[in-house]
Amino acid sequence: MFTLDPAFEATSAPLTEMWLCSVRLQLDARWPWLVMIPRGEALVELENLYREDRLALTDELIRAGQAVRAIGEAIGRPVEKLNIGQLGNITRQLHFHVIGRRADDAAWPGPVWGHGAAEAIDAKTLRTMQDAARRVLG
């Protein structure tokens, strides 16, 4: 049975359910950032996914990238490069980060993970980001 690690609740908000993944918006105003969590039991590494689910995973990661770009447009900071990461050093449940990067962002050209502290998203911007992402993700 799929159970979401509570650690995700503290740092992200639910956006939608895709065929394979639960999609969440990372609550950090510095980047348009989605977290994709495949709904499966005891998944930790990519190799734990069924092979037939891995193609869906890449479909959904690409769609997440489009949503991240839509968020960037909606908040007036168009995305220049996508970053994808599957780390899980802190939260082991298998998850993939899809992040929109710009040369003027806080961590460029380094990775975003562990870079300073998350910045709160105000309610109006959060709504703008959610709407933009949902238009792409359905």
Shorter beta-carbon distance to a second copy: residue 82 or 126: 82
Cβ-proximal residues to 89 (8 Å cutoff; 6+ apart), any chain: none
Specify whether the backbone of 40 is left (phi greater than 0), alpha (psi in -120 to 50) or beta: beta
Residue 47 binds a second copy, judged by CB under 8 A: yes
121/17 Cα distance (integer angstroms): 22
Residue 62 binds a second copy, judged by CB under 8 A: yes
Residue 85 binds a second copy, judged by CB under 8 A: yes
Residue 54 binds a second copy, judged by CB under 8 A: yes
Q: Which residues bind a second copy (CB under 8 A)?
A: 45-47, 49, 51, 54-55, 57-59, 61-62, 65, 81-90, 92, 101, 108-111, 113-114
